[in-house]
């Protein structure tokens, strides 16, 4: 039997999918062609479980109590279509419940928009949408028209989505953006594409993952008052590469909801991704704070200070975090309280420049070096390594003519040293270490803290050694070091680190300079005499008692 609408539908489906790319350079085009046919891993494809999809649409407010026909929803990378098909069900329910019919379903044209780079996924979801609509009595011709209007095959980051997003609505942007952007490390993004993305997206800086520009574009496509909900790793909320994105949000949006999903598996396949859902609104009025998902589905509100424009976000809940916010109001940060924080020396060629102390070079060129492993036990246990020190006491590179044994040693390893970027950039300094050696630091008493640790390890070093680059150092002109050591070893410091550093696998934290600098402590002279005496005593029990009084523990 002749079925004209069926034939029309086939025509639509077999047409080459609509290519929504703006004009791009041939290398970019070729890279996209490759990706559009690539395997799941190369595209960062990890699909969302249906119950998480439903929960996110609920949190977003895309629910049938509203007349969803007045909304415009965007899914930036729809993959197997989980979000899109659920949104479609809700939209159709809203349409039919409010007197809509199969015949006037063409009015829904501007309500949905989905983008997907992978051609096969795009084709499959087109078919699913057509079949779903046809089941409801919508002609296959109209169904195909709607499916092809809604679903775009292309790169979300480069696609021309029409003005501010939706030509059907006068370019007014989307009221809802929802999805789970691809996780793709920088190294996996083809270089031509990476350059193009970086050119277009100011938040795509440092070592940011591909999901960062997905946030930026999604946010920029929102209509005023519109909302975006992404399921995504939470790394960007605290780390350095997330800073430009956090600032963008501070300047015209606000984090409305945050749910940590680390305790559950929101994806269809097991992946370790530190997942969280963030709901972000485009809004200019003052920030009323963020709802954070607590236990048993309760939401707890935290104030706008939990999402500062210039620092890591602090959304964890619990009594400890309330206290931490209070300390931030009361006390200055570590460096304002008369302490300095830095990191040890990186050589760029440890195999050549970090050697046992019996190395045959002049004695004054050997700088006793402490490695992270030398303090792991909690006290200094020098392994006997030295840094082959190319800097003199004034911090200038030495003249090799004055050091024949040093010269002979370095010349023997010249190719390895010259391969380093620092040597290629300044060929005359081919034997230098990456960092300058600060001549005074060795002899300054200091606290040393290994970069990565499960608990705070803070070792007092009296001024005999120089720290290697996996060690952070803290010196102070105001605080006696035993007192400062007590603070940095305490649960107070551990809470700051937990709040401001990203948790690594196995519950480890990074004690980086930027995190240590956030620790708050009183100015030493302002402490009562008795507390100063207890803190400086070196006796653990007295120190704990003093800390409990200072911090109200």
Residues that bind ligand SAM (CB under 6 A): 43-48, 77-80, 82-83, 115-118, 121, 155-157, 179-180, 182
Residue 48 CA to chain centroid, in angstroms?
A: 20
Cβ at position 236, least distance to ligand SAM in Å: 15
CA–CA dist 75, 233 (Å, integer): 18
Distance CA 104, CA 107 (A): 6
Buried/exposed code over 153-165 (b: 16+ C-beta within 10 A; e: otherwise): bbbbbbbebeebb
Cβ-based nearer residue to ligand SAM, 159 or 550: 159
**Chain residue whose CB lies nearest ligand SAM:** 79
**Beta carbon nearer to ligand SAM, 179 or 242:** 179
Q: How far is the CB of 80 from ligand SAM (least distance, A)?
A: 6
Residue (78 or 472) nearer to ligand SAM, CB: 78
- Element holding 115 (H helix, E strand): strand 112-116
Show the 3-state SS of 247-263: HHHHCCEEEEEEEECCC
| Residue (209 or 256) nearer to ligand SAM, CB | 209
- The span from the CA of 307 to the CA of 290, in Å, is 8
Minimal distance in Å, beta carbon 543 to ligand SAM? 49
Minimum gap (Å) between residue 337 Cβ and ligand SAM:
44
Residue 118 or 498: which CB sits closer to ligand SAM? 118
Task: Specify the DSSP class assigned to residue 21.
Answer: B
Half-sphere exposure in the Cβ direction for 494 (13 Å, CA): 13
Tokens found for residue 345: 């020396």
Q: Residue 48 or 166: which CB sits closer to ligand SAM?
A: 48
* Extended beta strands in 234-350, E state: 253-260, 275-282, 290-293, 299-302, 339-343
Is the four-CA dihedral 347, 352, 355, 361 of positive or negative sign?
Answer: negative
Q: Which is nearer to ligand SAM, 115 or 386 (CB)?
A: 115
Match 């600098």 to its residue by tokens. 517
Smallest distance, Å, CB 57 to ligand SAM? Answer: 12
Q: Which is nearer to ligand SAM, 43 or 518 (CB)?
A: 43
Q: How far is the CB of 34 from ligand SAM (least distance, A)?
A: 12
* Cα–Cα distance for residue pair 443/441, rounded to 1 Å: 6
Min separation Cβ 86 and ligand SAM, Å = 10
Least separation in angstroms between CB 223 and ligand SAM: 21
């Amino acid at each position: 039997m002749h079925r004209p609408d069926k034939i029309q539908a086939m025509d639509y489906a077999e047409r080459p999918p609509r290519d929504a790319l703006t004009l791009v350079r041939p290398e970019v085009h070729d890279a996209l062609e490759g990706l559009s046919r690539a395997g799941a891993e190369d595209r960062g494809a990890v699909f969302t479980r249906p119950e998480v999809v439903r929960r996110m649409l609920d949190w977003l407010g895309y629910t049938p109590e509203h007349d969803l026909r007045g909304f415009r929803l965007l899914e930036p990378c729809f993959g197997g279509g989980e979000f899109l098909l659920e949104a479609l069900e809700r939209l159709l329910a809203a349409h039919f419940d409010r007197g809509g019919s199969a015949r006037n379903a063409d009015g829904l044209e501007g309500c949905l928009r989905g983008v997907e780079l992978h051609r096969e996924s795009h084709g499959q979801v087109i078919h699913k949408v057509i079949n779903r609509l046809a089941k409801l009595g919508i002609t296959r011709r109209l169904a195909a028209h709607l499916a092809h209007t809604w679903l775009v095959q292309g790169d979300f980051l480069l696609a021309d989505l029409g003005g501010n997003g939706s030509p059907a609505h006068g370019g007014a942007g989307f009221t809802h953006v929802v999805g789970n952007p691809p996780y793709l490390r920088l190294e996996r993004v083809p270089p031509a594409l990476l350059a193009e993305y970086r050119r277009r997206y100011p938040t795509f800086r440092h070592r940011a993952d591909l999901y960062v520009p997905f946030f930026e574009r999604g946010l920029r496509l929102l209509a005023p008052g519109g909302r975006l909900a992404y399921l995504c790793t939470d790394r960007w909320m605290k780390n350095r590469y997330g800073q430009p994105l956090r600032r963008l949000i501070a300047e015209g949006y606000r984090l409305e909801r945050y749910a940590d999903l680390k305790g559950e598996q929101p994806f269809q396949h097991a992946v370790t991704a530190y997942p969280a859902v963030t709901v972000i609104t485009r809004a200019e009025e003052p920030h009323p704070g963020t709802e954070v998902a607590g236990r048993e589905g309760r939401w707890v509100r935290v104030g706008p200070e939990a999402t500062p424009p210039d620092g890591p976000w602090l959304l964890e809940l619990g009594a400890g975090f309330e206290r931490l916010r209070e300390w931030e109001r009361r006390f200055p940060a570590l460096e304002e309280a008369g302490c300095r924080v830095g990191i040890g020396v990186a050589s760029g060629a440890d195999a050549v420049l970090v050697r046992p102390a019996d190395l045959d070079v002049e004695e004054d060129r050997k700088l006793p070096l402490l490695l992270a492993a030398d303090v792991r036990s909690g006290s200094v246990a020098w392994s006997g390594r030295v840094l082959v020190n190319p800097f003199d006491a004034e911090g200038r590179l030495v003249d090799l003519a004055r050091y024949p044994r040093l010269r002979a040693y370095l010349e023997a390893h010249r190719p390895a040293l010259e391969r380093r970027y620092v040597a290629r950039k300044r060929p005359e300094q081919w034997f230098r270490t990456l960092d300058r050696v600060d001549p005074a630091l060795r002899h300054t008493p200091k606290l040393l803290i290994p970069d990565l640790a499960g608990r705070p390890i803070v070792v007092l070093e009296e001024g005999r050694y120089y720290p290697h680059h996996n060690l952070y150092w803290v010196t102070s002109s105001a605080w006696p070091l035993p007192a400062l050591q007590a603070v940095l070893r305490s649960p107070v410091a551990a809470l700051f680190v937990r709040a401001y550093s990203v948790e690594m696998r196995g519950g480890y934290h990074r004690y980086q300079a930027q995190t240590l600098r956030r620790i708050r402590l009183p100015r030493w002279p302002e402490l009562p005499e008795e507390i100063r005496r207890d803190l400086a005593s070196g006796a653990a029990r007295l120190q704990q008692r003093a800390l409990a009084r200072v911090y109200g523990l």
